């Protein structure tokens, strides 16, 4: 599943070494897509999760497409 800039996504998994656990299940929008290049083995998405977390970076497997009317803290 690939995402385009502007798609609504939800964080389904976080690596606590890089992100705090409060980011899990938060919804946001994709603001950039970083293609694999030297130093990057996979596609990385820049996601805007709101005012407190304006730019966070996630691998594709850590995101899923968000439902239009889902609450911000809803858990699957």
12-58 confidence digits (pLDDT tens): 998 877 777 788 889 999 999 999 988 889 999 999 998 887 888 99
Average pLDDT over residues 60-74: 76
pLDDT at 10: 94
* Sign (positive or negative) of CA dihedral 33, 37, 42, 44: negative
Cβ atoms of 47 and 28 closer than 8 Å: yes
């Amino acid at each position: 599943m690939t995402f385009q800039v502007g798609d609504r996504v939800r964080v389904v998994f976080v690596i606590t070494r890089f992100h705090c656990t409060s980011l899990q299940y938060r919804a946001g929008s994709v603001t950039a897509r970083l293609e694999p290049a030297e130093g990057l083995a996979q596609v990385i998405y820049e996601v805007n999760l709101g005012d407190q977390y304006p730019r966070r970076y996630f691998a594709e497997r850590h995101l899923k497409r968000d439902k239009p009317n889902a609450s911000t803290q809803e858990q699957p």
